[in-house]
Amino acid sequence: MTERPVSVHFWTDRDVTGVDDWNPDAAPELHPSGYGHTFLELYARLRSQGRAVSIGPRAPRATTVLLASLEELTSWLPRCEPSLVRALARSVLRTGAPLVVVRADVHPHIPAPPFTALEVRPTQAAVVDPTREAHLPLLPQRGLVPRDPGRGTRVETLVLKAYRKNVPEWVSNSFVAEVRALGMTFELHTEESGTAGWEDFRAVDVSLCSQPSDTLGDPARKPATKLVKAWRAWSIPLVVPTLPYADIGRNGVDMLTAETPEQVLAVLGRLRIDTSFATNLFRSSAEAGRRYETDAVASVWWKHLAGARPVPRRIPAASLVREYAAALRRRLPRSPAVRGA
């Protein structure tokens, strides 16, 4: 029996007018949300590779795989919107295609629809059931301007690009003074100083990678976005040790870890005096970044999507929604933190 050609439909109820003509590299400022990065951009990248993809609220009958965003299904609420789950269930039943759901950083207590065949988790540490969950590599930050090769192996600037709420408390005037005492400069780029230069790494030698503060007690919830960005920018990542970074990086090889200001200063001091150490880190960082080249990441996603298999059952769409609602009541904690996730 000949298998049907793989055709992936990106199921969405939102207005995606113009996405078929979107070139993420030419217009990186469009669709800056998580939904835009993990869903719309993935569609655009696969489409540019010539893959059989479609997008919209109604899946063609030739669809062999359905892909949905849990961010859209929840609309950033502490539950999935029942009307969206019903519409998605109808597409699953109509096409018979397996459903793949991209979780991104949606709160772990919010379950994906029960008829999900494969759930893409934000980190490897977040994968609980490997038979129906997987972690796939991140698409690299679009519009990134990498470090100037003319800087060689100099270690002169330490830069942190983050929202103000995610800046470590120990980043203070005294810390900045101690960095200067090492013969280096420290730059802090937050939304308060404007985000226009957030993708510009031309003068960044060491990239300080903090983790978002709103993990809501789940350290595996947030992907290692800053680490991947540092690699792709050809800078040395200096990370606060957390599970997402340990998932994909190697301390002392393609990243460095430091939890306190004293540790940060000690690492910077070694980089300043040990030229071979810095040279090896620059080289390994660039090599790690090549694993996250756009086409390579898109191809990994396509391979997993093509291998998805339907959930082995067929029940009415209304029952699917009722089952999801019951699971939601069982698993979702009633706490202010979750309601505001």
Cα–Cα distance measured from residue 280 to residue 230, given in angstroms and rounded to the nearest whole number: 15
- Is 259 a domain residue? yes
- Is 302 a domain residue? yes
Q: Is 119 helix (H, G, I), strand (E, B) or coil?
A: strand
Domain match, 165 and 214 both: yes
Q: What does the CA dihedral 227, 256, 288, 164 come to, rounded to 10 degrees? A: 10
Q: Say if residue 334 is exposed, middle or buried (CB neighbours under 10 Å; 0-12, 13-18, 19+).
A: exposed
Please determine, for residue 20, whether its predicted confidence score (pLDDT) is greater than 90.
yes
- Is 170 a domain residue? yes
Domain match, 236 and 195 both: yes
Domain match, 101 and 126 both: yes
- Is 246 a domain residue? yes
- Is 165 a domain residue? yes
Domain match, 90 and 112 both: yes
Domain match, 170 and 273 both: yes
The per-residue pLDDT for 312 is 64
Q: Residue 314's domain spans which residues?
A: 8-140+294-339
The per-residue pLDDT for 310 is 81
**In the structure, how many helices (H) and strands (E) does the chain have?**
12, 11
- Count up the domains in the chain and report the number: 2
210 closest CA partner among 196, 227, 198, 194 = 227
**Could you tell me if 68 and 100 are in contact, meaning their C-beta atoms sit under 8 angstroms apart?**
yes
Q: Name which residue leads in pLDDT, 166 or 293.
A: 293
**Could you tell me if 69 and 38 are in contact, meaning their C-beta atoms sit under 8 angstroms apart?**
yes
Q: Is 161 helix (H, G, I), strand (E, B) or coil?
A: strand
- Is 109 a domain residue? yes
CB atoms within 10 A of CB 118: 23
Domain match, 283 and 155 both: yes
Alpha helix segments (H runs only) across the chain: 34-35, 41-48, 70-74, 82-95, 173-181, 225-232, 243-248, 261-273, 275-290, 294-306, 317-331, 336-339
Domain match, 153 and 285 both: yes
Cα–Cα distance measured from residue 262 to residue 12, given in angstroms and rounded to the nearest whole number: 48
- Is 245 a domain residue? yes
Cα–Cα distance measured from residue 119 to residue 67, given in angstroms and rounded to the nearest whole number: 10
Per-residue model confidence as pLDDT tens digits over 144-165: 999 999 999 999 999 999 989 8
Question: What does the mean pLDDT of the chain come to?
Answer: 89
Domain match, 165 and 260 both: yes
* CATH for 184: 3.40.50.2000
Domain match, 130 and 218 both: no
Domain match, 187 and 62 both: no
Per-residue model confidence as pLDDT tens digits over 249-296: 999 999 999 999 999 999 999 999 999 999 999 999 999 999 999 999
**Could you tell me if 301 and 268 are in contact, meaning their C-beta atoms sit under 8 angstroms apart?**
no
- Is 1 a domain residue? no
Domain match, 50 and 118 both: yes
What is the residue type of 121? R
What is the residue type of 89? A
Domain match, 19 and 134 both: yes
